[in-house]
Structures are given as structure tokens and as C-alpha cells.
A and B are shown apart, each in its own frame.
Chain A
Amino acid sequence: MSRAMVEAIRTEMAADEEVFVMGEDVADYGGIFDSTQGLLEEFGHDRVMDVPISETGFIGAGVGAAQAGMRPIVELMFADFFGVAMDQIYNGMAKNTYMSGGAVNVPMVLMTAVGGGYNDAAQHSQTLYGTFTHLPGMKVVVPSTAYDAKGLMHGAIRDDDPVVYMFHKRLMGLAWMPAPPGPKTAVPEEEYTIPFGEADVKREGGDVTVVTLGLHVHRALDAAEDLAEDGIDAEVIDLRTLVPLDEETMLDSVEKTGRLVVVDEDYRSFGLTGEIVARAAESNLDALEAVERVAMPDVPIPYARPLEEEVNPDGEDVAAAVRSALE
């Protein structure tokens, strides 16, 4: 998936002098998760800028450059590190358009790695979709395949609003962190965009609707294959963007199946799973026969393997939730 992201960034940088990349280890290293691999050779240190470890400074600088009309792509190495810079993110990047009554806009991409499953413990494994989507003013994009990663990145860079682009480490295809086969989809050479707010039905089914995103799309698809052997036909919806959220696809599906399972790698309470269920309930309570949530329990993510495996939802957890929704 990383190559697809980089491909989009490269094309946009070549087309528009105003696009540049800024972040820790984005130049010579090519991004710790390969998100900027090879860009330095083509564009040099002026347009692929390594910055000091000072997230408040450089993310805020991204906001300023964007307001000055440039199109910065700023990398926050791990979403977990947002804490040192959140003021610039949510009081500036996210709010300036609104506070200025639309007089100012912030055409910036904040890209960041999310997710666990490699035992790196509580400060390097969080997914935090809920945190970024809870705060109004930022579009939030979460690709699950190489095809989507490229199309969503083109759209993110061209967007005149701030976009948070959250990619799962496990999907990137890193030499040191093997990816499942799912994200390795074919990627057309030409440019294309995927409109924000269009979920993708990754698998059709009539018995139950599984709504998810990112890495867990692949876990849900695996679970759906297993369930199919028992004659259970699950529909798997990949949200792809959280802000804006494609309610229609989701709600139509729930209307058809009557059963909703939401799978999220973020924390359970006050997060994505609750939000999706609430929207389904608000829109058509009568259509809902059963609801299940699969998410991180409300504890920081532990280090030891048996502990992390316990809390991080896997295919079996998804299958169990589906079965329980069908009971």
C-alpha cells in the first residue's frame, strides 16, 4: 500500500510546485513506514523536508504554509504522538476555516500511522480514529487497499480542506512487518480519485452487515469466508472515509440484513462503534434486529503478546460477533 500512496504524492508534487512533504525521517529514511520512499531522490531536501522532533512546531508550520496557499503533506510518525501537537491540529488546522467564517482555508494533509498487532505497547499501537473524527473540521481518510490508498491520497492533496490520512502499519507492505495479502490490490498507473464519503461494499451478503475500515476490513473478510462455510452470508462494508461518512450505503445494508456488527481497532467507549450504531438507530430503529460491537476494550494497549492478542480484535472475534447477532 505504501507504494500506491507514494505514487500519488509523487504525481501531485510533479504537477504542483506548491505541494511538499515535511516530517521526521521522511527524507533519507523515506518514512519509517515507507510513506515517502524514493521522493527525496526525485525532489530533494527542499521539497521532502526532514524536520526536528518538534511536532507542535512543524505541524503548526504546515497549517501556516497551507493558509499561505501551499499544499503541505505533513507526517506525524505515529498517531499516538498527536498529544504533543494537538493544539495545532485541533485548535488551528481543524478550526481556522470555521472561525474565520470561511475566510481562511487549510489545504493540508496530515498523514499518520495507526494500529497495533506487533507488540509495541501502549504508546505506539493506538488507532485513534475516534479522537480525530470527534473534533470537527478535519476530513478523515482510512485506506484499506493499495487501490484506495492512491485514489484517496490524490483526493486528499487536492482537497482545499485539512485531511487526516490514517494508514495502518500492517497494510503498508514493510520488509519488517509483513502485510496480509488483502491490501495488495492492482493499482492503475494513471491518476484517479476516490470521492470522499463513498463506502465500498467489499463483500455482498444478506444475513448481516459488518461495518469496518482499515486493517479490520481484511479481518472481517476472512471471518466472512469462514462464516460462509456455515451458510452465513455477511456483507462487509469498508467505510474508507469517516468524515464525511457514507451513511447511505451502511443504512441500506442494515435495512436489507437487519443485523449490524461494527468492527473497530480503536477503543470501544465514546468511539466509532457507538457512533455507527447510533446513526443506524436514529435512522431506522425498526430495521435493527441485532447489534454487536467489536473494538478495543477500554484499556491502554498492553505489550506482551497474549495480552495484546486478547484485546486486539481478530477474525474470530468478528465471527463470534456475527454469530451472536444472528442468534
Chain B
Amino acid sequence: MFTDMVTARHYEERLQEEYLEGKQPAFDISAGQIPGELHLAAGQEPAAVGVCQHLREDDTVTAPHRPHHVAIAKGVDLDRMTAEIFGRQTGLCKGKGGHMHLFDPDVNFACSGIIAQGCPPAVGAALAAKKRGEDSVAVSYLGEGAISQGGFLESLNLASLHDLPVVFVVEDNDWAISMPKERVTNVSNGAKRAEGFEMPGERVDYNDAVAVYEAADGAIERARAGNGPTLLEVQVHRHMGHFMGDPETYRPDEEVPRLRRMDPIDRLADDLRDAGVSDDELEELRETAESRVEDAIAYAKEQPQPDPEEAYEDAFVNPPGASDAAAADAGGDD
């Protein structure tokens, strides 16, 4: 867990640097080597690692628009993910998806830029597992801002009704862009929503990776054993703006420094030290993680840009008209 957390953190910090290159002095979202929006998850790592630690490759994860920490914890190919974020031809999605739309079918990971859009497909993955008699599970991540969305509530109902092996993980970072949690819900403990659907709900406070790990253990176990869905709400903190370039004028000045003082990585490091892990060992894990990130970024930058003509490919796996051309190539008749 520690390794994944420091990998994710270093990754976010490095992406931030790379993103800003070419966008200075006047910030222009479309300039630079990583264009488009970039939503960073520094400070939210416990929700990713505490849950994904229990998952196998054949388990499905759907993540929202802030996906990197979850992708890393799920084992998404870091080189190809980074190449995708840099918009390169050899990226996970050949440069078509970008940072909010990463797909890695090898580890059953997907994410999306539409709020709560990942919930129903996670239910679908769980449904498929159940129909086939497999013991894989699905995990759907969403923010606390997303829990008012119909797709989420409909998913809870469907999952509960059919006892599906799915765990909904709400990352409560207190903010939905500029909207503080209290302005979008009267239910401060989001896990309570589970009650209305007759499923277990649990909230984990203090952005604590170990506590998330323990809560997720029960939830995933329950799902794998065929006992149905769980709703987990995890308190996390968003260290950065909603997206890079967000002026954050809505946020109290003191908040970010205060959150950084409660850093979940420091906290886990303390726990590990208490358990007898030495500073040297921690440092070594950190260095390995950092060099993996550096390698991924170096790899991404070396990759070719996509050829413009590729824009027309991949809308279908079986493009209309292509079979005619193939038939003609093969000398087939009309």
C-alpha cells in the first residue's frame, strides 16, 4: 500500500510539473505537452490503495474523472497510461481517450468524465460475474459530489435487488469543484444512504489507509462470497484545485496547508515505523516508486504522436464498409 501511495503521489506531482510546462507565464489550458483538463488526486491515495489492495486482475474497477491513484492501485500499465495522458500513439487508448478516459482491459479498469457514469457499468460487470458463476467483483469509485446523481442511486437499487458483487466507494473530499459538501447534501455520513437500499454502508474517517483497507476487506469479501453489495464512504482530502488552473477562490486559504499537515502518506509511514519498518526501508520503497514514475514519464515522452489519419479509426471494431473493402482485396465477388 505504501508503495502504491508514494507512486501515485509522485506521479501526480510530476504530472503537474509536466502539465505546466508550456503553459507559462499565461495559463492556457490548450497549450503545452499535456493539454486539456487535468484532475489530480494528491491526498486521496488511501481510498485507492485501501480498496484495490484486495482486488485481482479479473476484478473490475470503474473510476471517475480523477483516476490516476485508482489506476495505479489497480495495476494499470503505468507506461502506457502516461503515454495516453501525453496523447501519444502507443498510449492505452492510442491518444483518443486522454486522462479522463483511460481503458486498460488487461486489468479491467475504465474511467469516465461524466459524473457517476461508472456506477451502472460496474453493476453490469458484477451481473456478468454472477451470471457466469465467477467470483470476481466490481468496484465503482465516485466523489461525494456524485452521490446525488440518479445513475448512482439507480445502481445501488439494482445491485441490492440482485445481490450483486459490487462495492461502491465514495471518495469524500468535501468539494465538488467549488461546492462544499453541505451545499449539496444534508446527509453528512454518505454511508447512511445504504440503509435505504437494504445494504451495508460504512464510513471511514481520517483519510487513513489502514482503516480503509480493513473496511474494504469486509466489503470485498462479502461481495466475493455472493452476499451482495456494500457502500463505503471514505474521507479523503484534495490537495490541489479541482483541475489544474482552477483559481480556487472559493476555498479558504488555510485549508490546503492544514490538509497537507494531515498527509495520509506520513500517517501510513508512522504506522509502518511503529510496526518495525526502518526509515531506510521506507526510503528505498520511495525511491523505487519514484524511479518507476520517472521511467514512465520518460517512456511517454519518447513515444510518437498519433498520425492524424488515425482519428478516423476505431469508431467501430467492425467498421461499416470495411468488410466490402476486405472482400474486394480478397478478390471476392460483389
Contacts and interface: CB of A to CB of B under 8 A. Distances in A.
Do A and B come together as binding partners?
A: yes
A234 B305 CA distance: 36
Contacts, number: 143
B96 A304 contact: yes
A303 B95 contact: yes
Given A28-B178, A303-B96, A52 B114 contact: no
A309 B309 CA distance: 11
B184 interface: yes
Given A84-B149, A304-B88, A307-B96, 18 more contacts: A24-B179, A28-B179, A50-B178, A50-B179, A50-B183, A52-B179, A53-B176, A57-B148, A121-B98, A177-B30, A298-B315, A299-B312, A302-B306, A304-B89, A304-B305, A307-B95, A307-B310, A311-B311
A310 B311 contact: yes
B235 interface: no
Contacts of A187: none
Interface string B236-252: 00000000010101100
B97 interface: yes
A297 interface: yes
Interface string B110-147: 00111110000000000000000000000000000110
B308 interface: yes
Q: 8 nearest interchain CB pairs?
A: A303-B98, A304-B95, A304-B87, A52-B148, A119-B35, A310-B308, A29-B178, A118-B30
Interface in A304-327: 304-311
18 contacts: A24-B177, A24-B179, A28-B250, A29-B250, A32-B177, A52-B184, A81-B115, A117-B30, A118-B30, A121-B113, A123-B112, A124-B36, A297-B312, A299-B315, A302-B311, A304-B98, A305-B305, A307-B311
Interface residues of B, number: 50
Interface string A23-35: 0110111001000
B28 interface: yes
- Judged by DSSP, the binding face of B is loop
Contacts of B184: 50-53
Interface of B: 26-30, 35-37, 87-89, 91, 93, 95-98, 100-101, 112-116, 145-146, 148-151, 176-179, 183-185, 245, 247, 249-250, 305-312, 315
Given A28-B249, A29-B177, A297 B311 contact: yes
B30 A121 contact: no
Interface of A: 24-25, 27-29, 32, 50-54, 56-57, 80-81, 83-84, 117-124, 175-178, 297-300, 302-311
Contacts of B250: 28-29
Contacts of A29: 177-178, 249-250
B178 A25 contact: yes
A307 B306 contact: yes
A44 to B, nearest CB: 13
B15 to A, nearest CB: 15
Contacts of B26: 178
Contact of A121 (B96, B149, B309): B96
Contacts of B306: 302, 304, 306-307
B36 A119 contact: yes
A307 B88 CA distance: 10
A178 B178 contact: no
A303 B97 contact: yes
B183 A176 contact: no
Contacts of A24: 176-177, 179
Given A299-B312, A304-B96, A307-B95, A121 B148 contact: no
A25 B248 CA distance: 12
Contacts of A311: 311
B164 to A, nearest CB: 22
Contacts of B98: 119-121, 303-304
A308 B87 CA distance: 11
A300 B315 contact: yes
A29 B243 CA distance: 13
B179 A309 contact: no
Contacts of B113: 121, 123-124
B34 to A, nearest CB: 9
B85 to A, nearest CB: 9
Given A29-B177, A176-B27, A298-B315, A303 B36 contact: yes
Nearest to B148: A52
Given A119-B36, A300-B315, A175 B149 contact: no
Contacts of B146: 53
B100 A121 contact: yes
A161 to B, nearest CB: 27
A302 B30 CA distance: 14
Contacts of A178: 26, 28
Contacts of B176: 24, 52-53
A25 B29 CA distance: 19
